Chain A
């Protein structure tokens, strides 16, 4: 017999995931406009792989395939993987990354809702460790036409110089190793734009727009993005004030790399993140701190993915220690 409540108007997991996909569209549009339509091929490739892998894994696990594939969670993972990878990686790398995300990071841990690690970031980390060279080849805006991009994606010969050397974070990191180089001098050179990476600034702005949509639709709360962005600004700002020649200014950190994509779409993954309000603040701030440390002192130019995985490990502890006070148990006063 069905018990109360008898009203169940909630839109369903599918509705949540659909909103996330919609919120990604502005970012994808600007990405394609700035860097060519190659990203769309990657997104399609990732989507097909994800749905196939999801269906296969559900079948292997003896679960109902239709409902679970219909929840669109695999598509969200696929899109986030594709948007995190460099846009011109060969097709097999995209496929491999999505397989790692769906098969290893998600279903081997028990499927939707059970994965301790952010699947997209687990896949990204696996790829950057396994294929560091391919993972550092990022194009400059408007550099290659669609045909050339497609050729690279389909595994054509890669002339490294034809593809821009690196992201701004990479350029900054390697540039600063030269004696006498300063952040200001480096930021006058090619890959840098007004605040972040040339072209990437616009993509970031579009992600921000999508993030506001998620906030307005209450798919995410303000806690994680705000804590993440504020902490990143704070730590990078302090370092920059102390030693401006060696540390990039806070606005550079906020505008470059995957900062804005991460702030609204990656770290806000509910399954692998903290759930309490205070826990979300700690989680977001922790990622920012670790990411900045890796960017400034680590072996990799971009540290957000590693930071997310590190903080994923801490989630059970964070949640346990930040349980909000229950009604009637605040303050502990009693007459």
Chain B
């Protein structure tokens, strides 16, 4: 074994009471098979899976029942054998309380597996391995649920270091600890497989030094294949950015991929899932879940995806005053909208909450600028400044002060003596920024549509006038010619048309190329960087934002104003998206080009643009409006857990 590795440190962080001892007293238990499983189609960052089954179908355990939809999506599988009861909107494991499509299974208790095919990893090209992982439904199990196959792409300069995250810094959660203790060999095997796919040179396994058993187990399993490093226990040491910093000294900025810096980071649970997927051909249908908090017997359970949280918590004996569940830890966890939401791939822990365990926040007091938050911030932000700007709705300034570098770890709110819910302010500010950017896009699109409509009307008028003039002229000519010899009906305007058509096409091509170049050169917006998960959140927020507006309208009996915007039909929305995309490209091209239109004196360039839009408008109307899936800009780093 090598001499002690030089460790780095991140600034800030906090040391909350760990609360971990209770749930590691007993080994991992297998949760019993429930009668009903509710498998959401949307369990990862990216698009929801496309259902492959119908109500009434018989399915086998491990059978793929939802297919990945696009590059940033993964499959979902039947966690047990049984019958599909229905496919429809079900409660989601998300604080919004919104419904999302899910496949509901009635289990038959037979646990009959589908045929599993182990993969010959050495003889399979990396691209095929990535496809296999996508179809096995493998996502980051640290909580971020980012599709793993997307993160298993070597960066531009190759990936030097593969980091396996066993830090597990959130209080209460011990599922990674127990996994490493009991299944160290599988975790290591998964890490080796990832090292192979990434062509990485070394594996570093980072574990907080408050888990001596896990450290010993992983060291015994790793031998010389990987270096197991004890990192100082300090929340959020398990944040991917923080762990990368501690182990390598590299700081991955917001909006960049860690592979561009030669590192990639995976949770230990993900490593184990990859081992199962490739070595046993077994898709991701279960995960370890810590059940803790206000329960009599905290413990870790291996739970089938889709099991209702209520059934899992029941195993640990919830106390009667349990008033809610939290998915994840107390620092970053999500409050669940009810007890019957399903366990999903992101569920690393379910904390039963009670008014005594997690008392309501004390009343908010004024900020006294003490700076405790700045000292606690692991991203080196000045949370108090972000707070003032967010509160003042000065979102531009908040962005200037790196609002989007905030990882929402909660350290600032944890230490704030004024009990200000700082993270809520930042979430609010971020959602407002996203909403404004989208509103601006929509407004631009509307302006473009309006201008184009004006232009088209004028063009039609002038064309009509021209045709009329031509017809008159032809009639006159015919009348004159009639004097000499009888002629067929004159079509003076027609022969010009094919030539005009060809010219138009050439112009369209030119305009398209120009618009694309413009789009590529355009600076990225905040909304570009978003993981689909965040986008979903935005959508949820947007829905909630608009809801009060609509109800207010109804209540006020005011049918004007905003009443037209809120309830756009999905199909209309898709069509609108295509139009917006086209209009945006045009807007950018136009901005670069001459001052905007005067439709009376059209330059050739403008004509080309208009032609291009028209072409695309028609295309958009004809084709199914499917926005091309963009490759992810930044696989978001997993949040600390």
Contacts and interface: CB of A to CB of B under 8 A. Distances in A.
B414 A113 contact: no
B16 to A, nearest CB: 6
Contacts of B368: 13, 16, 73, 112-113, 270-271
B370 A6 contact: no
Interface string B258-275: 001110000000000000
A326 B330 contact: no
B422 to A, nearest CB: 9
Interface in A87-137: 111-114
Interface string B229-262: 0000000000001000100000111101000111
A190 interface: no
B371 A270 contact: yes
A60 interface: no
Interface in A152-177: none
Interface stretch (B35-43, B374-382, B506-514): B374-382
A2 to B, nearest CB: 6
B330 A221 contact: no
B10 A5 contact: no
Contacts of A326: 379-381, 402, 405
A242 interface: no
Contacts of B452: none
B335 A271 contact: no
Contacts of A298: none
Counting contact residues on chain B (CB < 8 A from A), the size range is 35 or more
Given A4-B331, A275-B374, A9 B419 contact: no
A142 interface: no
B524 interface: no
Residue of A1, A10, A11 with highest tally of chain B CB at under 10 A: A10
Interface in A300-328: 319, 323-328
B362 A8 contact: yes
Contact of B256 (A16, A73, A276, A334): A334
B374 A6 contact: no
Given A3-B424, A327-B405, A114 B366 contact: yes
Given A327-B379, A328-B251, A3 B95 contact: yes
A328 B333 contact: no
Interface stretch (B133-141, B206-214, B280-288, B353-361): B353-361
Nearest to A315: B369
A11 B416 CA distance: 9
Residue of A8, A9, A67, A113 with highest tally of chain B CB at under 10 A: A8
Nearest to A273: B369
Contacts of A2: 335, 358, 360-361
A335 interface: yes
B380 A335 contact: no
Contact of B369 (A4, A7, A68, A271): A271
Contact of A319 (B241, B379, B385, B416): B385
A15 B417 contact: yes
Given A5-B413, A328-B254, A67 B261 contact: no
B383 to A, nearest CB: 10
A323 B417 contact: no
Nearest to B97: A1
Interface string A67-82: 1100101000000000
B264 to A, nearest CB: 14
B171 interface: yes
Contacts of B335: 1-4
A12 B362 contact: yes
A7 B378 contact: no
B326 A6 contact: yes
A270 B413 CA distance: 18
B415 to A, nearest CB: 5
Contact of A7 (B95, B331, B366): B331
Contacts of A15: 417
Contacts of B154: none
A218 B370 CA distance: 10
Contacts of A16: 368, 370, 417
Contacts of A273: 369
Contacts of B332: 4-5
A11 B365 CA distance: 12
Contacts of B6: none
Contacts of A12: 362, 365, 417-419
Contacts of B414: 5, 7-10
A335 B261 contact: yes
Interface in B3-35: 10-11, 16
Nearest to A323: B382
Contacts of B157: 335
A5 B410 contact: yes
B51 interface: no
A330 B332 CA distance: 26
A329 B381 CA distance: 11
Contacts of A330: 251
A170 to B, nearest CB: 34
Contacts of A5: 330-332, 410, 413-414, 423
Given A12-B419, A330-B251, A7 B16 contact: yes
A111 B427 CA distance: 27
B475 interface: no
A276 B330 contact: no
Contact of B371 (A1, A221, A323): A221
B371 A6 contact: no
Nearest to B155: A335
B424 to A, nearest CB: 6
Nearest to A110: B366
Given A13-B366, A113-B366, A334-B260, 18 more contacts: A1-B95, A2-B361, A3-B95, A5-B332, A7-B330, A10-B415, A12-B417, A68-B365, A71-B365, A111-B366, A112-B368, A218-B372, A270-B370, A275-B384, A326-B402, A327-B245, A335-B261, A335-B262
15 contacts: A3-B95, A5-B331, A6-B333, A7-B331, A8-B362, A8-B419, A13-B365, A16-B370, A273-B369, A323-B385, A325-B380, A326-B379, A327-B251, A328-B379, A335-B261
Please give me the 3 A-B residue pairs with the lowest Cβ-Cβ distance, nearest first.
A328-B253, A5-B410, A113-B366
